[in-house]
Amino acid sequence: MQAVRQDPLLGSSETFNSFLRRAQQETQQVPTEEVSLEVLLSNGQKVLVNVLTSDQTEDVLEAVAAKLDLPDDLIGYFSLFLVREKEDGAFSFVRKLQEFELPYVSVTSLRSQEYKIVLRKSYWDSAYDDDVMENRVGLNLLYAQTVSDIERGWILVTKEQHRQLKSLQEKVSKKEFLRLAQTLRHYGYLRFDACVADFPEKDCPVVVSAGNSELSLQLRLPGQQLREGSFRVTRMRCWRVTSSVPLPSGGTSSPGPGRGRGEVRLELAFEYLMSKDRLQWVTITSPQAIMMSICLQSMVDELMVKKSGGSIRKMLRRRVAGTLRRSDSQQAVKSPPLLESPDASRESIVKLSSKLSAVSLRGIGSPSTDASASDVHGNFAFEGIGDEDL
């Protein structure tokens, strides 16, 4: 048997993450020192933690958990996200902060007050809510996030459901509030900015949401009310993210004056099992395509862990060089205000059939094949699909 040589740098993920951490710090020329970092909760509440500029995402997450008095065994149920705060106060999600990242460096290097770090739950299956709701702080975090998502219109609520939710709010029945919210469409979903897809036709304006093992596309066809199509991750054979720079008028590839970085176009394309013997490519063009891909991957990972009988409870690593810094003063999660009356202009959404047969599919072509095979994310959850799933 031929021996396989392993690069010592890549032999340990901890060593590799340490290398990436140093590279990020040195690139931005940030000295190691103690600083105050602001982390937001989903409802906009600010949590100020003292960290080092060289602290990785896990360090900062632990510091926030300590400040809120969230138990160690629940830290893995939450993650830090880099977001851009829009003029109306809503968050546009840029990406989930990776383990090797230095959150302080990541947010300050953007040199804009629009960018923030937000704490949000990091799992998709609402069955895991039970673990978090056992703890007072975990319950408050889920409750505050859910109220915020309803106010933003991320969770779809009828007038009667809204009345029931508000009644539970007035009674301060947080667990009952969450139990009802779990039954609502798009509970626990992450919503993206309006973008464009080639489903069900080319250049179709859509709003994409990720959650419950699916990508949901809300769209409006000419002369019709708002509709929704759902793409289950178990029926996606593979997907990939590509970037391109549109050619200027005239067809030359020269960048030319005035071409900015903002003109780079990102696309998420996935191959979907539309029916038993028909695979079709669907392409979404969005600046948040990378974040969408990360959501798909995390949903697949969660499905595989659940299928194998595992748990998402995270065994946090303890570094030999230091110990967890506990804050002397803990911060409570503030209760959000009562839900406002539902927006009358918010339209009801007609659900398309599970096979998307309510909308004709046309103009959906296979994406360019010049990308290497390594750019394609295979989906192991797809392999277990049976006839009953179609």
Longest dimension (CA), the chain: 70
**Topology adopted by domain 189-244+264-321:** PH-domain like (2.30.29)
- CATH number of the structural domain 123-188: 1.20.80.60
Confidence label for 221 from pLDDT (cuts 50, 70 and 90): confident
- In angstroms, what CA-CA distances link 280 with 33, 88, 198, 272, 380? 52, 37, 11, 5, 18
Q: Is the pLDDT of residue 8 over 80?
A: no
Q: Map out the domains of the chain as residue ranges.
A: 1-122, 123-188, 189-244+264-321
Q: How many CB atoms lie within 10 A of CB 276?
A: 9
Which of 154-158, 333-337, 369-373 is the least confident region? 369-373
Q: Is the pLDDT of residue 16 over 80?
A: no
Mean pLDDT, residues 127-142 = 96
Confidence label for 238 from pLDDT (cuts 50, 70 and 90): very high
Span 40-99, pLDDT tens digits: 999 889 999 999 999 999 999 999 999 999 999 999 999 999 999 988 778 899 999 998
Whether residue 200 has a cis bond before it, omega within 30° of 0: yes
**Topology adopted by domain 1-122:** Ubiquitin-like (UB roll) (3.10.20)
Is pLDDT larger for residue 89 or for residue 198? Answer: 198
Is pLDDT larger for residue 128 or for residue 24? Answer: 128
Q: Is the pLDDT of residue 277 over 70?
A: yes
Residue 170 backbone phi and psi in degrees, to 5: -65, -30
Mean pLDDT, residues 155-161 = 95
Span 179-196, pLDDT tens digits: 999 999 999 999 999 999
Residue 88 backbone phi and psi in degrees, to 5: -85, 5
Mean pLDDT, residues 295-309 = 91
